[in-house]
Amino acid sequence: MILVLLLACAPHAEPNPAAAADAAAQAAAERVPDPARGGPALHPGQSPLPPFTGVSRSTATYVGAQSCAACHVATSRRWARSEHAGALLTLERAQHAHDPECLPCHVTGLGHPGGANTNAVPLQGVQCEACHGPGSDHVAAPAAGYGTLPRDASACVACHTVAQSPDFAFAPYWRRVAHAGD
């Protein structure tokens, strides 16, 4: 009985950001075996791949946000006003636009087949495909499901690491980029 009272009266501990990031990374690893989540190692300079589903990483290539905007008008407008859209500009202002440690999270598909370094499609910033995966198969067959993400931080922590984004908390960050996909 005394133990129960002591536990009930114990002060509430503040959340540990590192523990939350570790838990989100573990949740992602359980969803999709992915280079950014415990799968084969990424080559230096490759963009992380969030745990999206419904995308064939063997056939799909990057098409760029302008292709997404043709059908997803409202979402595209919201993205264009977001910090994700200006992610490369953030690096330019900080004089890190050529920093190989920063570019993978600020440029879409860097180092992946059909990604920023291999494609004439402009992929600067954190575009749709940075989170939802390469979109060429979806453009070819729009009715098919595409780029579904978990509704938690496991989609974000590959880039929003404790070291690079120490104040990251899913709910307030999501409000800044929330979209339904129109």
Q: Where are the beta strands (DSSP E) in the chain?
A: none
Residues 145 and 134: their CA atoms lie apart, in Å, by: 13
Q: What is the pLDDT of residues 116-157, one digit of tens each?
A: 776 666 888 999 999 998 999 999 999 877 888 888 888 888
Is the pLDDT confidence value at 165 over 70? yes
Reported as a single tens digit per residue, the pLDDT across 95-121 is 998 888 898 899 998 888 777 776 666
> Are the beta carbons of 57 and 40 closer than 8 angstroms?
no
| Residue type at 100 in one-letter notation | P
Q: How confident is the model at residue 36 (pLDDT cuts 50, 70, 90)?
A: very low
Contact in structure between 52 and 133 (CB atoms under 8 Å):
yes
pTM for the whole structure: 0.75
75-to-78, 177, 182 alpha-carbon distances in Å: 5, 9, 6
